[in-house]
Chain A
Amino acid sequence: MSPFARLVRRDLTRAFAHGGAWLPLVFYLLVATLFPFAIGPDAALLAKVGSGALWTAALLAALLPVERLVRPDLASGVLDQLAVRGHSDEGIAAAKLTAHWLSFGPLLMVATVPAAALLNLDGATLERLEIGLLLGTPGLAALGLAVAALTAGLRSTGALIGLVMLPLAVPLLIFGAAPGAGALKLLAATSLLFVAGAPFVAGAALRAGRT
């Protein structure tokens, strides 16, 4: 097994330990349940706002795991030990990004099926939503990792993470919830930009955190 695969496997094991990775999923379903309660049992209206509501729920759910992505490894000295062994900070960040998406993207896509039923979304909308999440969740994971690395050395980061990450995620939200094939292409482009940039941003943050 390559060192990259070992790092991914370790992060995945840690994400699912104590059921931590299930929390965003439950949160997502809970928010999806709240919308019908708040808006009322108007099936047509729910179908209209459902797609946007689920994207908002996905965005909020993506905030939950951010705090435990980098900070525990920084505190326990794992990042130092990896650096001593000559693993590049960008490589570590890329492994963390892969593990983070695996622990959260596919689960969110599965949870979207019952969530769509709660909001009375039709098959075409659900399909569109699933494609959008497939393209968009890697971008959300990348943003989460970059923010996690940037804030890992700070003391209390709970609210700060949301303040930093949510504005940056607005393009994903706009292109994800908008109709049309053009929006999907822009969503994919935005997501690709975040995925390509995050390992370098997070790597630089890890390096700066050591000095």
Chain B
Amino acid sequence: MTRLAFENIACFRGGRLLFEGLNLALAPGEGMLVTGANGVGKSSLLRIAAGLLAPAAGRVMRDGDVALAAEAPALDEDQTLFAALAFWARLDGGDDQAVAMALAAMGLAQLAPVPVRLLSTGQRRRVTLARVIASKAGIWLLDEPASGLDMASLNELAAAMAGHLAAGGVVLAASHQPLGLAMREIGL
């Protein structure tokens, strides 16, 4: 059973209290969209959910593996897209087939033999989403997943998220744009 819950979370960054008393609970198949102005703490919220950042107060409960699509692509520039993604997929216990399926899901199949350094910003963003798909993790944490994506990619993202939720996964996304999927919203 995949779950993610925040209990009375407070976040303190750079001498500033970003938010406090935050509660949320995501049951299997539930998604949530975090909205708010720049610098309000959306990325910090996702980093707390991922366990990368310790909250100043409160408790995070996670049932299931976590996959994070953050701003940084975390890909080796010299390798081909397929090899760079396969490194992560194999760390997650996946195989070449999982990589190929994830690439196809984000419309990147033709770019598989291209070196990562030649990819555009939007293509890199799609690769980070493909890594999340390939990870088979239950909890998806997506930081601005729609930024830089074209219409076709937005639809692929929405389809991937809908498929993940239908399979009992959990999605917590921070975004300025609508993601083309009906989700509860929480404003920071």
Contact = CB atoms under 8 A, between A and B. Distances in A.
Contacts of A83: 51-52
A48 interface: no
A210 B72 CA distance: 14
B53 A80 contact: no
Interface of A: 1, 3, 6, 10, 14, 17-18, 75-78, 80-85, 210-211
Contacts of B75: 76
Contacts of B19: none
A84 B66 contact: yes
Contacts of A84: 50-52, 66-68
Contacts of B95: none
Contacts of B188: none
Contacts of A80: 50, 52, 68, 70, 72, 74
A85 B92 contact: yes
Given A3-B91, A14-B76, A85-B92, A77 B71 contact: yes
Interface string B84-106: 00011011100000000000000
Most buried by A among B67, B74, B87, B131: B74
Contacts of A78: 74
A76 B90 contact: no
A87 to B, nearest CB: 8
A81 B84 CA distance: 13
B51 A10 contact: no
18 contacts: A6-B87, A6-B91, A10-B76, A14-B76, A77-B72, A80-B50, A80-B52, A80-B68, A80-B70, A80-B74, A81-B68, A81-B74, A81-B88, A81-B131, A84-B51, A84-B52, A84-B68, A85-B65
A76 B74 contact: yes
A17 B84 CA distance: 14
Contacts of B76: 10, 14
